[in-house]
């Protein structure tokens, strides 16, 4: 890297930003170190560079920096060391070891920004991941290479859902190297403990790389954490052929940090004060999921996002929904009913489901069963509104069956225990069992042939 | 590229770079920094030039060189476009992958058209012919079509010579007497529309094979449509169905800010698809422009123009082109992002004040036209809009609706019910129906329009009755109204719902659509008589012909089945004494 010149020409410090004057030409996005009067160093990145002034965003916060602090521009953009030995390690939100283990000896140093995968190089994600959770496997199927966030709210058990998926997720009939990369941004240490304990209990930690930026860590560091996690994931997946599941939480905390930077730069805000480039910024991370032709590994992302005020139209879930391939929505209503996992099937969606189900993937009747469950559940839910007005007695026999079906669907199909790992066959058979309580002629989403083959009461 | 001028970078802020020392024209392409990143001039202030760069600017520093190419962003037009997969600035993605691997890195250029392929050219004009711009010079077999080689719009003169044979796109195939050399390739600036003689009335439907669209909300060849829908309403599947099945000869699919994995689905599914008309691969008449959401924002902004310029080129040959822009909201967002980087005064919701103007400029580039060569060609544009939070009052949707004539309202409620395509029959509309009436009368059936109106009316009545049912339940309605509900349910579940994944159901020819709806109407009319004769409704709806009407759409022999069921309707109602 050579000797970088140190500048003592700070002209302004505002929020997380430091403005430096009279520098040699500095590259956009360059890594910066700032030497504080107390002898410590902070790191930052160039956000805007010109002949007159260079704007630096400081990851660890600007506390303690004065006008005389020494600023060095390191001549390169932010890179991180990666190695197989990162598995089993716990690192800080900016990549420093937190577990008292040795420093990472790099096999490679990689740019954390990452380039876009050439769409032509991408391989179609179509391998079914069995999570063992019926409301996901049966209704919102996850495939390898997908990015499927949980849209949740405060007080809902999204962490338990994520952990159950991390424990149970597998591709049937395949034994391949897998890894979990966990990126925490601004979660409480209690939540972090909860994750770590579960990783340790199940032995998953050995196969995991953990990045922790906790609630009291600098907010700006949160902009780094997911990128470190994803760069690590790319290395494990595309250099070391592993199937990597990336869980990152909480996207909302990340977006808050982004807004903070935007405000500090006095940028023109878009919706609700979030910067206009938030869509592109989020996309630059979500899109680092997928498969590449000719490579064995894959990256599947499972981001957790808590919707402020349970509002799915808030800019964070809204923009996320346009980038990710669907979403699993947690339901407060089901949670109140005591149903775990409280997954609002009717509001959830997996856009890649069609590619990962059916003969050769799951079972030939999967699409039909799931469509029929969706439609019948929707009909039953509609009737609940009617019952509230006219009472159950006023319903026709047929309608009453649908009403009961909706209850049974929530109680038996959606509800399962935290360690219940259902196979896809169990899930689909359960679906048929519930559907068989409905009149056969109301099963309009299912081909005659499929009914004759699978319907418990119509089998030929 | 004539008259290169050099200057220096003075500021870098994300994709916006400021340079000094060059005096380019607006929208000229410049090469930025030592990596020669491609950029476009978007603002001139004093001696400063503001450039939007199509690639990531990390590591670029003030003082590096900037080169003005003296030409605006243009695309290469010629044989070889079909089957291509481009990024937003017409770099072929397969070539980029060969050059630099699985990830798109920076500073790589690759021409839009291959320089080595030889094309078999047969002239259709003779030496000495007086030619105007846009004239057809000859033909080349390309993909599934005949590529007409056109004289560039601005060229003109007497043909001095022209040769038959095998040529690359850069070889000279002929010359005008004024010295203009003619090649198979020409260039055109993307932000400028290609000229034509006249716009024509869009009075021919674009047949899509999707029942709800063709029957209820048709699009005309040369027309404009918007598909709005919050995320997850099936917009992508609908737009892919249109690309696959519509009867345009050329399909341009612009994935603007698309998801990588979904773009992959398009990129891998298109080459596997067979063109129903020729039996050849569908790619042989398709151009894909793919700029995913994590690719540079400025290239996303350009991608829509790249697509429409290629569309205009094939229109000028006399073809019907359908262009799918998925999604114009991502395009508008790119405009917003660049505008905010430029610190422009924002309009509504942070979008630039020129949003409406840009949208209408774009949609105006479609239409059915008489081309410079006297042929008739068309561009139909289907723009996907993704209103944030499903809120149709947001600026992109509103400005789009002011321009387009067809609105296919995707509805998340229908999606939850697995009603696909989830196009709401009450809020959608098509302003082309009256213009197209004559065509249907001549080509399908005299009473196409009557059948259509009957279906619309029944659905409208249903929605009124539903409000009462919500309050008192359906049992409280008189039999006749309950029958209307049943018939509307048949229209919805049998006719409007169509499975994109079912081999038979995925495409429905117009004639079949007509027969299908007519059969439902026939059932309805007989049922009405039956009700008036006091046959209980339960008896009517449990007639086997009713459920047969629902099942037959999945049968290989659907057209024969339709005839059979139609005959059955009469027989079975006769059994009820009608």
3-state DSSP of B472-486: HCHHHCCHHHHHHHH
Mark yes or no for CB contact B11/A50 under 8 Å.
yes
A438: which DSSP letter? Answer: S
Does this model's pTM top 0.90? My answer is: no
CA dist B578 and B571 (Å) reads: 9
Burial of B126 (0-12, 13-18, 19+ CB in 10 A): exposed
CA dist A433 and A296 (Å) reads: 38
Mark yes or no for CB contact B102/A146 under 8 Å.
no
Burial of B150 (0-12, 13-18, 19+ CB in 10 A): buried
CA distances from B317 to A357, B145, B561, B570 (A): 43, 11, 41, 51
Partner residue facing A318 (CB), from B18, B255, B388: B388
Q: Phi and psi at residue A20, in whole multiples of 5°?
A: -120, 135
In tens digits, what is the pLDDT along chain B, a chain of 578 residues? 334 589 999 999 888 899 999 999 998 999 999 999 989 898 999 999 999 888 889 899 999 999 999 999 999 999 999 999 999 999 999 999 999 899 988 888 899 999 999 999 999 999 999 999 999 999 999 998 999 999 999 999 999 999 999 999 999 999 999 999 999 999 999 999 999 999 999 999 999 999 999 999 999 999 999 988 655 567 767 877 887 888 999 999 999 988 888 888 888 877 777 777 777 888 899 999 999 988 888 889 999 999 999 999 999 999 999 999 988 989 998 998 888 877 788 888 888 999 999 999 999 999 999 999 999 999 999 998 887 766 788 899 999 999 999 999 888 788 767 788 999 999 999 999 999 999 999 999 999 999 999 999 999 999 999 998 888 878 889 999 999 999 999 999 999 999 988 889 999 999 999 999 999 999 999 999 999 999 999 999 999 999 999 989 989 899 999 999 999 999 999 999 88
Boundary-marking domain end, from A35, A55, A77: A77
Is A296 a domain residue? yes
Same domain, A287 and A415: no
Partner residue facing B264 (CB), from A119, A327, A346: A119
- How far A168 CA sits from the closest chain B CA (Å)? 24
The pair of three-digit structure tokens given for residue B468, joined into one six-digit string? 């009462």
Q: Which helix (H) or strand (E) holds B523?
A: helix B510-532
B346: which DSSP letter? Answer: B
Partner residue facing B103 (CB), from A115, A125, A312: A115
Domain spanning B84-96+197-426 has what CATH number?
A: 3.40.50.300
Mark yes or no for CB contact B104/A276 under 8 Å.
no
Is A246 a domain residue? yes
Helix B433-443 vs helix B448-472: crossing angle, to nearest 10: 120
User: Hey, which bits of A78-162 come out as E strands?
Assistant: 79-82, 89-92, 108-111, 116-117, 122-123, 128-129, 142-143, 150-152
Boundary-marking domain end, from A77, A105, A136: A77
Place of tokens 């359908």: B322
Residue B472, chain A, CB below 8 Å: the answer is yes
The pair of three-digit structure tokens given for residue B300, joined into one six-digit string? 């996303």
Mark yes or no for CB contact A268/B293 under 8 Å.
no
Nearest to A346 by CA among A331, A367, A357, A336: A331
Burial of A459 (0-12, 13-18, 19+ CB in 10 A): exposed
Mark yes or no for CB contact A77/B58 under 8 Å.
yes
Partner residue facing A120 (CB), from B59, B93, B473: B93
The pair of three-digit structure tokens given for residue A369, joined into one six-digit string? 């069963």
Mark yes or no for CB contact A351/B232 under 8 Å.
yes
Q: Which of A1, A322, A325, A390 to mutate to test the interface with B (most CBs of B within 10 A)?
A: A322
Q: Do residues A192 and A213 lie in contact, with contact meaning Cβ atoms separated by under 8 Å?
A: no
Mark yes or no for CB contact B102/A284 under 8 Å.
no
User: How is B358-369 classified by DSSP, letter by letter?
Assistant: HHHHHHHT-EEE
Domain total of chain A: 3
CA dist B180 and B139 (Å) reads: 20
CA distances from B348 to A274, A281, B160, B332, B355 (A): 15, 22, 56, 12, 9
Pick the CATH number of B444-575 from 1.10.510.10, 2.60.40.10, 1.10.1140.10, 3.20.20.70: 1.10.1140.10
CA dist A13 and A36 (Å) reads: 13
Residue B417, chain A, CB below 8 Å: the answer is yes
Range of the domain at A417: 366-454
Mark yes or no for CB contact B56/A113 under 8 Å.
yes
Q: Do residues A334 and A310 lie in contact, with contact meaning Cβ atoms separated by under 8 Å?
A: no
Place of tokens 């600035």: B89
Same domain, A298 and A158: yes
Boundary-marking domain end, from A77, A105, A124: A77
Sign of the CA dihedral with B268 first, then B272, B275, and B278 last: positive
CA dist B408 and B214 (Å) reads: 11
- How far B207 CA sits from the closest chain A CA (Å)? 26
Mark yes or no for CB contact A124/B268 under 8 Å.
yes
The CATH class for the domain spanning B114-184 reads: mainly beta
Interface of B with A in 254-293 (CB under 8 A): 255, 257, 259-265, 267-268, 290, 292-293
Residue B393, chain A, CB below 8 Å: the answer is no
- Coil, strand or helix at B313: helix
Same domain, A294 and A427: no
- How far A443 CA sits from the closest chain B CA (Å)? 11
The pair of three-digit structure tokens given for residue B481, joined into one six-digit string? 């109204």
Chain A residues touching B14 at Cβ < 8 A: 28, 277
Q: How many helices (H) and strands (E) does chain B have?
A: 16, 29
Chain B residues touching A346 at Cβ < 8 A: 416
B193: which DSSP letter? Answer: P
Where does chain B hold its CATH 1.10.1140.10 domain(s)? 444-575
Inter-chain Cβ pairs, chain A and chain B, closer than 8 A: 233
Place of tokens 């304990």: A197
Same domain, A197 and A314: yes
Q: What is the pLDDT of residues A297-322, one digit of tens each?
A: 999 999 999 999 999 989 899 889 88
CA dist A142 and A120 (Å) reads: 22
Classified by CATH at the fold level, domain B5-72 comes out as Elongation Factor Tu (Ef-tu); domain 3 (2.40.30)
Residue B555, chain A, CB below 8 Å: the answer is no
């Amino acid at each position: 890297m050579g000797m970088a010149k140190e500048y003592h020409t700070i002209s302004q410090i505002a929020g997380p930003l430091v403005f430096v004057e009279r520098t040699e030409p500095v590259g956009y996005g360059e890594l910066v170190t700032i030497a504080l009067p107390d002898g410590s160093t902070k790191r930052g990145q160039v956000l805007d560079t010109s002949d007159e002034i260079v704007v630096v965003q400081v990851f660890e916060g600007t506390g303690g920096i004065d006008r005389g602090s020494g600023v060095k521009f390191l001549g390169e953009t932010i890179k991180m060391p990666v190695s197989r030995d990162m598995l089993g390690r716990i690192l800080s939100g900016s990549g420093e070891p937190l577990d008292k283990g040795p420093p990472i000896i790099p096999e490679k140093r990689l740019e954390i920004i990452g380039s876009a995968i050439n769409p032509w190089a991408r391989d179609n994600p179509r391998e079914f991941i069995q999570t063992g959770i019926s409301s996901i496997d049966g209704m919102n199927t996850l495939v390898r290479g997908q990015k499927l966030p949980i849209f949740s709210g405060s007080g809902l058990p999204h962490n338990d859902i994520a952990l159950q998926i991390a424990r149970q997720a597998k591709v049937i009939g395949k034994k391949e190297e897998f890894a979990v990369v966990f990126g925490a941004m601004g979660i409480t240490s209690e939540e972090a403990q909860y994750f770590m304990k579960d990783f340790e209990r199940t032995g998953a930690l050995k196969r995991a790389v953990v990045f922790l930026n906790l609630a009291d860590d600098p907010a700006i560091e949160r902009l780094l954490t997911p990128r470190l996690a994803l760069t690590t994931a790319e290395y494990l997946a595309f250099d070391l052929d592993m199937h990597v599941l990336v869980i990152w939480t909480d996207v909302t905390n990340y977006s808050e940090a982004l807004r903070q930077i935007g405000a500090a730069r006095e940028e023109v805000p878009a919706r609700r004060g979030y910067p206009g480039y938030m869509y592109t910024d989020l996309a630059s991370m979500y899109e680092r999921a997928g498969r590449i032709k000719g490579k064995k590994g894959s990256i599947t992302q499972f981001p957790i996002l808590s919707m402020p005020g349970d509002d799915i139209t808030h800019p964070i879930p809204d923009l996320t929904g346009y980038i990710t391939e669907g979403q699993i929505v947690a339901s407060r209503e089901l949670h109140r009913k005591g149903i775990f996992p409280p997954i609002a099937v009717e509001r959830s969606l997996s856009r890649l489901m069609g590619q990962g189900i059916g003969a050769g993937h799951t079972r030939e009747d999967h699409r039909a069963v799931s469509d029929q469950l969706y439609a019948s559940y929707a009909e039953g839910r509609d009737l609940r509104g009617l019952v509230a007005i006219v009472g159950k007695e006023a319903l026709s026999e047929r309608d009453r069956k649908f009403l009961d079906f909706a209850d049974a669907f929530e109680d038996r199909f959606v509800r399962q225990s935290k360690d219940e790992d259902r196979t896809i066959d169990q899930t689909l058979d359960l679906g048929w069992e519930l559907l068989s309580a409905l009149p056969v002629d109301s099963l309009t989403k299912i081909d005659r042939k499929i009914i004759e083959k699978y319907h418990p009461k119509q089998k030929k | 590229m004539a008259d290169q001028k050099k200057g220096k970078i003075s500021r870098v802020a994300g994709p916006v770079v400021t340079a000094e020392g060059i005096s380019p024209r607006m929208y000229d392409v410049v090469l930025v920094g030592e990596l020669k990143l491609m950029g476009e001039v978007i603002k001139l202030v004093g001696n400063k030039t503001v450039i939007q760069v199509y690639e990531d600017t990390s590591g670029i520093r003030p003082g590096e060189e900037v080169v003005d190419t003296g030409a605006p962003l243009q695309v290469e037009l010629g044989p070889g476009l079909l089957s291509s997969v481009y990024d937003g600035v017409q770099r072929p993605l397969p070539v980029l992958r060969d050059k630099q691997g699985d990830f798109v890195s920076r500073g790589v250029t690759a021409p839009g058209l291959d320089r080595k392929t030889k094309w078999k050219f047969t002239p259709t004009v003779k030496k000495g012919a007086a030619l105007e711009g846009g004239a057809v010079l000859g033909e080349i077999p390309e993909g599934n079509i005949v590529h007409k080689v056109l004289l560039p719009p601005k060229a003109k003169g007497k043909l001095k010579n022209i040769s038959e044979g095998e040529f690359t796109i850069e070889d000279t195939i002929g010359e005008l007497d004024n010295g203009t050399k003619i090649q198979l390739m020409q260039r055109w600036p993307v932000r400028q529309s290609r000229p034509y003689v006249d716009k024509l009335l869009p009075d021919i439907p674009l047949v899509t094979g999707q029942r709800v669209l063709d029957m209820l909300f048709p699009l005309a060849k040369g027309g404009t449509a918007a598909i709005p829908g919050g995320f997850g309403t099936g917009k992508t599947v609908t737009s892919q169905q249109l690309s696959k099945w519509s009867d345009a000869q050329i399909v341009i699919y612009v994935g603007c800010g698309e998801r990588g994995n979904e773009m992959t689905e398009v990129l891998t599914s298109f080459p596997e698809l067979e063109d129903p008309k020729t039996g050849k691969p569908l790619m042989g008449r398709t151009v894909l422009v793919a700029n995913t959401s994590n690719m540079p924002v400025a290239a996303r902004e350009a991608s829509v123009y790249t697509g429409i310029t290629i569309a205009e080129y094939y229109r000028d040959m006399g073809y019907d082109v359908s262009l799918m822009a998925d999604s114009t909201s991502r395009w508008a967002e790119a405009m917003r992002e660049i505008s905010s980087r430029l610190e422009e005064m924002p309009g509504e919701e942070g979008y630039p004040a020129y949003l409406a103007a840009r949208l209408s400029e774009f949609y105006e580039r479609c239409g059915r036209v008489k081309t410079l060569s006297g042929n008739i060609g068309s561009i139909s544009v289907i723009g996907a809009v993704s209103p944030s939070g499903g809120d149709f009052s947001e600026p992109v949707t509103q400005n789009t609706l002011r321009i387009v004539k067809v609105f296919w309202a995707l509805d998340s409620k229908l999606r939850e019910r697995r009603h696909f395509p989830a196009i709401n029959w009450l809020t959608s509309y098509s302003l082309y129906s009256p213009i197209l009436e004559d065509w249907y009368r001549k080509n399908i059936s005299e009473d196409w329009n009557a059948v259509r109106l009957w279906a619309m009316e029944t659905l409208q009545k249903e929605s009124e009755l539903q409000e009462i049912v919500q309050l008192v339940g359906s049992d409280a309605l008189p039999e006749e109204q309950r029958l209307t509900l049943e018939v509307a349910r048949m229209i919805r579940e049998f006719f409007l719902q169509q499975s994109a994944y079912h081999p038979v159901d995925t495409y429905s020819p117009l004639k079949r659509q007509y027969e299908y709806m007519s059969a439902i109407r026939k059932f309805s009319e007989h049922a009405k008589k039956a009700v008036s004769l006091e046959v209980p409704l339960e008896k009517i709806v449990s007639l086997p012909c009713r459920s047969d009407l629902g099942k037959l759409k999945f049968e290989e022999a659907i057209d024969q089945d339709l005839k059979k069921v139609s005959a059955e309707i009469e027989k079975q109602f006769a059994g009820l004494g009608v």
